[in-house]
Amino acid sequence: MRSLRDLLILLPFFFLSLPLFTEEDHDMHDLMAHFITPAAEKIWESTGFVITEEGEISLEPKDNEGWNEVVFGAQVIIESSYSLKRLDRSLGREDWIAFSSLLEPIGRQAVIAAEAKDSEALFQIGADLYQACVACHNVYMKK
Ligand code: HEC
């Protein structure tokens, strides 16, 4: 009797939780587009040069505020490593976990480079970061 009542109470919650699983793609889209990409752009848009009519312009931050933005982006990259490994996202897939794990050390190196205002190191770290994104997308991003 007791367990039947519990079941009847819990049943609506079961149906309420179903959309969480069917909305997996939506969840990944948001994480990628609104969390990971803006963070990575803090790093990519702070390194290298752009060519204009006036010549080469360095994208290196000009002040502490600019470098702090890079530190902030790098911290988000570190956090995204854990966030991607959450069980409902990794689904226990070993390669997914390995790809996600690449982001943490890269993020840490980026924090160190940004704190040292080392734009050459940051450029290389940005390239490594890009490779880590692509490694996972090659396997898991639907065409
Ligand atoms: C562990 C795997 C994994 C890693 C690492 C990863 N991604 Fe993704 N990314 C995905 C998957 C899966 C999708 C497809 C999501 C979907 O269904 O829309 C995706 C999609 C995207 C999209 C398209 C989003 C959309 O739906 O419009 C962008 C942009 C993106 N990722 C950026 C990045 C960047 C930048 C990095 C690295 C800093 C990165 N991703 C690292 C798995 C990953």
CA angle 61, 105, 44 (to 5 degrees): 30
Note whether residue 11 is domain-resident. Answer: no
Note whether residue 13 is domain-resident. Answer: no
Averaged pLDDT, groups of 10, the chain, 143 residues long? 58 50 76 97 94 92 96 98 96 97 98 97 97 97 81
Note whether residue 27 is domain-resident. Answer: yes
Please name the helix (run of DSSP H) or strand (run of DSSP E) that holds residue 28, with its range, or none. Answer: helix 24-31
Provide the pLDDT for residue 26: 84
Note whether residue 6 is domain-resident. Answer: no
**Which residue spans within 9-140 are E strands per DSSP?**
49-52, 55-58
The range of the structural domain enclosing residue 49 comes to 22-140
Provide the pLDDT for residue 19: 46
Q: What is the DSSP letter of 44?
A: H
- Establish whether residue 137 lines the binding site of ligand 1, counting it when its CB lies within 6 angstroms of any ligand atom: yes
- Establish whether residue 32 lines the binding site of ligand 1, counting it when its CB lies within 6 angstroms of any ligand atom: yes
Residue 95 and residue 136: Cα distance in Å, rounded? Answer: 8
Note whether residue 15 is domain-resident. Answer: no
| Bridging pattern class, strands 55-58 and 49-52 | antiparallel
Provide the pLDDT for residue 5: 62
Number of domains in the chain: 1
Q: How much is the pTM? A: 0.85
Provide the pLDDT for residue 6: 61
